[in-house]
A = this chain, B = another copy of it.
Amino acid sequence: MGGVSHIAVDWGTSSFRLWALDRDGAVLAERRSAQGLGASGTEGFERVLDAHLDALGIGEGVPVMMCGMVGSRAGWVEAAYVATPAGLDGLTEKAAHVPSARRLIRILPGIAQRGAAGADVMRGEETQLLPLIRAGFEGIACLPGTHSKWVRVEGGAVQGFATFLTGELFHLLRSASVVAPSVEGAGQVDPAAPEFAQGVDDGLAAPELLGNALFRLRAGWLLEGAKPDATLARLSGLLLGAELAGAARVAGRGPVALIASGAAAALYRAALARAGFGPVTLHDAETCVRAGLHAAALKAFRLERITA
């Protein structure tokens, strides 16, 4: 494949995404798979990466910039956390070098918060933030996910952040808890469902009753025949409402840069509006992570930039 300048890889716990980019950051080809950390650790990280590059006909010597859990202790090579306040332009210098005879490979580090603000960590989200910070962003960013992040950016640096277990709780509750039978067979949550809106309102108004509201999902199914789609929408709304109550406490209800894709983007947008958060600007998470990896690659591999 011609014109490929470098490769960008977002390699997380449960997914692998790779883009072949030209020097402008345009996508020439891409690969996606469910080869997250567990599967890749068993098969061998280099083997997984090489198979994708071979499939695209990418020769030796094309450098690779990666981010995400592939840089964790359980990943390929550990990229030690950078401490807050973390100026993201410096991330590239802290990237871990992955030994390979075939090409240059780097993994961007995550960010760690210590001290009075409370221990917290991110890996991958810092790369999504890179293009915003390079464009001069200041303020609060929200990055939904299995572990959603609320990040305060000032002076080109991540000053602090708070992670919420929202997505993981949603997954555990819908699949492995006493709530599970009541949501069996439900489809994707509809951001316009009244049960989602009511859940957001209830989670926001009384986060201390979350444990009770969760059990009542089961009771509503047992006693009132609540439907799986409605129950799942309420479950999602309750958890999101409780997260927003917490986020309001640590970050206020001002403007939010929402960095998200697909279903999460629509749900968070609806919930943030309901909760009265200040203007919300949506940035596509996938575009952001790719742009972040591209910028880091240009810098790390000293590639000539066609556009500034």
Whether the pair A119, B243 counts as a contact (CB closer than 8 A) is no
On chain B, the residues within 8 Å of A113 by CB distance are: 219
**Separation in Å of the A255 CB from the closest CB of chain B?**
20
**Separation in Å of the A147 CB from the closest CB of chain B?**
6
On chain B, the residues within 8 Å of A178 by CB distance are: 147, 165, 168
Interface range, A side:
35 or more
Whether the pair B163, A219 counts as a contact (CB closer than 8 A) is yes
Whether the pair B120, A215 counts as a contact (CB closer than 8 A) is yes
Partner of A121 from the list B164, B207, B211, B219 (CB cut-off 8 Å) is B219
Q: Which of A30-38, A169-177, A191-199 contacts B (4 or more CB under 8 A)?
A: A169-177
Whether the pair B165, A176 counts as a contact (CB closer than 8 A) is no
Whether the pair B176, A246 counts as a contact (CB closer than 8 A) is no
A206 contacts the other chain (CB 8 A):
yes
Q: Which residues 220-251 of A sit at the B interface, judged by CB distance below 8 A?
A: 220, 222-224, 239, 242-243, 245-246, 248-250
**Separation in Å of the A187 CB from the closest CB of chain B?**
23
A216 contacts the other chain (CB 8 A):
yes
Q: How far is the CA of A209 from the CA of B249 in the complex (A)?
A: 8
On chain B, the residues within 8 Å of A169 by CB distance are: 211, 214
On chain B, the residues within 8 Å of A168 by CB distance are: 177-178
Q: How far is the CA of A119 from the CA of B231 in the complex (A)?
A: 13
Q: Which 3 A-B pairs have the closest CB atoms?
A: A208-B245, A207-B208, A164-B211
| A–B Cβ pairs within 8 angstroms, 7 of them | A112-B222, A112-B223, A147-B178, A168-B177, A207-B210, A209-B249, A210-B246
